[in-house]
Every structure is written in C-alpha cells, then in structure tokens.
Copies of this chain bind each other. A is one copy, B any other.
Amino acid sequence: MKARVVVTLKDGVLDPQGKAIEGALKSLDFNGIESVRQGKIFDIELAASDRAAAEGLLRQACEKLLANQVVENFRVEIVELS
C-alpha cells in the first residue's frame, strides 16, 4: 500500500524558509506571488493491506516522529491500495 503524509506548519507559525523562497522568487521577477510556506511530504510504502490499520499506524508515526504537533499539522492520505 502506498501512502502520503503531508506535514505543514500551523497558521501563525513563522516560516523563514518560505519567506526566503518568496524573496528569491520576487528577485527573479515572478510577480503576483503573495506568500510561500514550505512543508514536507513523506511517501511511504507499507506492507499492511487494511486501510484503517495503515492510517492508524501512520497517524502514530506522525505523532511520535514525523510531525512536531506544537508547530505542525499533518495529514495522512492512502494513495494506492494493494
């Protein structure tokens, strides 16, 4: 089974990396870009065949390792069942 975990900064949390990219795009003359916020994705392959079990496992993995819930949100998507 293939899953994708998306980790993004919560609203209101400063994102200096995003700001730097925004500045770089402006200096490259990309007009019309108002804001950039960077996040992470994890493309994960699992042996589990049960969708609910896989989602539970990944949710736990996010809580323990992949996301810092103080400043980040996460979302688990099952991309492809097997």
Which residues of A pack against B, CB within 8 Å?
6, 8, 18, 21, 24-25, 28, 30-48, 54, 57, 60-61, 64-66
The complex is assembled from copies of this chain, and their number is 2
**A46 CB contacts on chain B under 8 angstroms:** 32-34
Q: List 18 A-B contacts (CB under 8 A).
A: A25-B61, A28-B61, A28-B65, A30-B60, A31-B47, A32-B54, A33-B44, A34-B45, A34-B46, A35-B45, A36-B42, A36-B44, A36-B45, A37-B42, A38-B43, A39-B40, A39-B42, A40-B41
**A18 CB contacts on chain B under 8 angstroms:** 42
Q: How far is the CB of A46 from chain B (nearest CB, A)?
A: 5
